[in-house]
A and B are shown apart, each in its own frame.
Chain A
């Protein structure tokens, strides 16, 4: 149970920069996810922490001690790989006991511990099975048990669930979280699946192209994205470029939109307006219903059935809007139906854009601090 810190960690491969001066602190016992698309540097960062890569500059500190020059096999970190990491010539029990064998634990003791851990991950009956006799999900459980066997100070997980079926993924991620909480171990979890990250983490660090876009609690990342990248990567978000028109109003495509968050922004400022599909209210326009002031008129185009919710694609003067409505309500909103859209002015987020054009990805001052969430 240790505190992990990255100080100005950077890594370049020939002419490609994978990480730009990363600063990150992870409190002891917390579950932190590194979230981002492929190529964003999250796996590189993890491998540097584990010791399989050397950083170009910067250091990794565990409980204040610099481990950057410690070889990988002495770092006291347990790592769970994405797939195929179990030793095929050993049974599940032997795999789990491997780290203990290296540490010269007696056979009786290490077998006992291996059995305990396999029980913890729910595989007590699979002790003597070989990896090729186990399913993908079972293999990853064994991998987890194996990493925990050496009682590491930090647990590292490199997209451990990407290679598994959807159902198994959901089940297993809960288990990982449960075990992590039970053992109180510091965990760093790399994934590109934002649902995964949001559902089990204490803190989420969003990475893009080698830089931290935002860190914060799952709620903050989802509800208060600090940069356009985070906004579009996490969940679905409607986004429009526009200029601040007057107090609390943003003008885009000749349409005026309400946004409380625009208060305090000087008029004429270029901004990005972001609003979630579930925050938009929708009413079909028939006879007696009119478009409210500060609302938008649109036409229903496409339905995407998602189960309890149906995602509607609405054509408007400012472009396409995505709106989520209850599937029952969606039945009466066939394609071509004219609708009125509006929202609570408090719902949208506003992000500043530089005046010279092009969306920047600089965090807004209001973003959470890089250390410890407000969880």
Chain B
């Protein structure tokens, strides 16, 4: 159009209904980075600064000499000293124990609620309550158990009025056993939440077909149910392991820096300066935790892939 009238109509060619306006072509200066990466840049920047850099500094600290500059394996080697080895071992034992208690208990409860015959409301009630209970961890949970089965706890008194003294056999809440019980309180609902979808995935037709072909309950579980469910079961328990291994607040509120030797507790003690320990050792301990949990998450991812093959 050679001559444009003074009151020309606006050029509508830029707005094509149903099409996004063209993104400006990538500028050569930025090379790979084009403007499409801009909106997600803040996120990556943030994660880098507040998660990746601190993690890297832990790694750096773990391998740095305490005085002067340079790197060393000393701190990592110290991790294998008896008291730290014992701490790792105890943490692992505790995590495995509560993964099993929470896992198996949770499996049975979830199955009971999800399978046929259970009224609808039981399932929703269980899931809701599990959601709350799984969040109830930490300091209040410890106090709840102290109030219940602590030395002057409600249930303790109740039982002793019937002549049963649960503390007579050396049991105490502030021990490995006590911790196992308390941890189970949040492991159980966590398991229920994680495993319920997988149990749902166990189609009733499989159970009925097995029955129709002559199998009893035990045979069904042995040949069909468990083989299908085990990857999900195991991956759920791996998650439970990670959850217990990382726990600090609950343990601290229950045993302080004392009776049970756990890695998070030691790290806490190092940070609060309660022990005269080389802060770099704290880094090494943290690194040890990260490695162990990283390992379990990797196993979890592998198991998940196996699980989804049959259950969805």
Find out whether A and B make contact in their complex, taking CB atoms under 8 A apart as touching: yes
Q: Kindly identify, within residues 83 to 112 of chain A, every residue whose CB is under 8 Å from any CB belonging to chain B.
A: 83-89, 98-99, 101-103
Surface stretch bound by B, among A74-82, A258-266, A297-305, A328-336: A74-82
CB of B219 within 8 A of CB of A72, answer no
Q: Kindly identify, within residues 60 to 82 of chain B, every residue whose CB is under 8 Å from any CB belonging to chain A.
A: none
Q: Kindly identify, within residues 278 to 322 of chain A, every residue whose CB is under 8 Å from any CB belonging to chain B.
A: none
Residue in contact with A85 in the complex, picked from B206, B214, B227, B228, CB distance below 8 Å = B206
The answer to the question of B159 belonging to the interface, with a C-beta cut-off of 8 Å to chain A, is no
C-alpha spacing A89/B227, complex, angstroms: 7
CB of B310 within 8 A of CB of A89, answer yes
Residue in contact with B216 in the complex, picked from A73, A77, A88, CB distance below 8 Å = A73
CB of B209 within 8 A of CB of A79, answer yes
CB of A85 within 8 A of CB of B205, answer yes
C-alpha spacing A237/B103, complex, angstroms: 60
C-alpha spacing A74/B215, complex, angstroms: 9
The answer to the question of A132 belonging to the interface, with a C-beta cut-off of 8 Å to chain B, is yes
The answer to the question of B213 belonging to the interface, with a C-beta cut-off of 8 Å to chain A, is yes
- Specify which chain B residues have a CB less than 8 angstroms from the CB of A75 in the assembled complex: 212
The answer to the question of B203 belonging to the interface, with a C-beta cut-off of 8 Å to chain A, is yes
Q: Provide the B215-251 mask, 1 if CB < 8 A to any CB of A, else 0.
A: 1100100011001100000000000000000000000
The answer to the question of B309 belonging to the interface, with a C-beta cut-off of 8 Å to chain A, is yes
The answer to the question of B165 belonging to the interface, with a C-beta cut-off of 8 Å to chain A, is no
C-alpha spacing A79/B213, complex, angstroms: 8
C-alpha spacing A150/B213, complex, angstroms: 7
The answer to the question of B211 belonging to the interface, with a C-beta cut-off of 8 Å to chain A, is yes
Residue in contact with A73 in the complex, picked from B205, B212, B224, B227, CB distance below 8 Å = B212
- Specify which chain A residues have a CB less than 8 angstroms from the CB of B215 in the assembled complex: 73, 98, 102
C-alpha spacing A87/B310, complex, angstroms: 9
| Nearest CB in chain A to that of B201: its residue | A88
C-alpha spacing A146/B209, complex, angstroms: 10
The interface size bin for chain A is 20 to 34
CB of B214 within 8 A of CB of A73, answer yes
- Specify which chain B residues have a CB less than 8 angstroms from the CB of A86 in the assembled complex: 209
The answer to the question of A26 belonging to the interface, with a C-beta cut-off of 8 Å to chain B, is no
Q: Kindly identify, within residues 156 to 203 of chain A, every residue whose CB is under 8 Å from any CB belonging to chain B.
A: none
A104 → chain B, closest Cβ, in Å? Answer: 10
A133 → chain B, closest Cβ, in Å? Answer: 11
Question: When A and B form their complex, what is the total count of cross-chain residue pairs whose Cβ atoms lie within 8 Å?
Answer: 72
| Nearest CB in chain B to that of A82: its residue | B205
CB of A102 within 8 A of CB of B209, answer no
CB of B209 within 8 A of CB of A87, answer yes
The answer to the question of B253 belonging to the interface, with a C-beta cut-off of 8 Å to chain A, is no
The interface size bin for chain B is 10 to 19
CB of B211 within 8 A of CB of A73, answer yes
B286 → chain A, closest Cβ, in Å? Answer: 41
- Specify which chain B residues have a CB less than 8 angstroms from the CB of A51 in the assembled complex: 211-212
The answer to the question of B133 belonging to the interface, with a C-beta cut-off of 8 Å to chain A, is no
Residue in contact with A99 in the complex, picked from B213, B224, B228, CB distance below 8 Å = B213
C-alpha spacing A143/B227, complex, angstroms: 20
A55 → chain B, closest Cβ, in Å? Answer: 17
C-alpha spacing A77/B310, complex, angstroms: 27
Q: Provide the A51-84 mask, 1 if CB < 8 A to any CB of B, else 0.
A: 1100000000000000000001111011101111
C-alpha spacing A85/B309, complex, angstroms: 16
C-alpha spacing A87/B215, complex, angstroms: 13
CB of B214 within 8 A of CB of A103, answer yes
Q: Kindly identify, within residues 281 to 312 of chain B, every residue whose CB is under 8 Å from any CB belonging to chain A.
A: 309-310
The answer to the question of B278 belonging to the interface, with a C-beta cut-off of 8 Å to chain A, is no
C-alpha spacing A51/B211, complex, angstroms: 9
C-alpha spacing A150/B214, complex, angstroms: 9
CB of A146 within 8 A of CB of B213, answer yes
CB of A85 within 8 A of CB of B211, answer no
The answer to the question of A50 belonging to the interface, with a C-beta cut-off of 8 Å to chain B, is yes
- Specify which chain A residues have a CB less than 8 angstroms from the CB of B228 in the assembled complex: 87-89
| Nearest CB in chain A to that of B208: its residue | A52
The answer to the question of B155 belonging to the interface, with a C-beta cut-off of 8 Å to chain A, is no
**Apart from A83-B205, A88-B206, what are 16 other A-B pairs with CB-CB below 8 Å?**
A73-B211, A73-B215, A79-B209, A85-B205, A85-B206, A85-B209, A86-B209, A87-B209, A88-B228, A88-B309, A89-B227, A89-B310, A102-B215, A102-B219, A132-B309, A147-B213
Task: Please report A residues at the B interface, Cβ cutoff 8 Å.
Answer: 50-52, 72-75, 77-79, 81-89, 98-99, 101-103, 132, 143, 146-147, 150
Query: Can you spell out 20 A-B residue pairs with CB atoms less than 8 angstroms apart?
Result: A51-B211, A52-B211, A73-B215, A74-B214, A75-B212, A78-B213, A79-B208, A79-B212, A84-B205, A85-B203, A85-B205, A86-B209, A87-B206, A89-B227, A102-B213, A102-B214, A102-B219, A146-B213, A147-B212, A150-B213
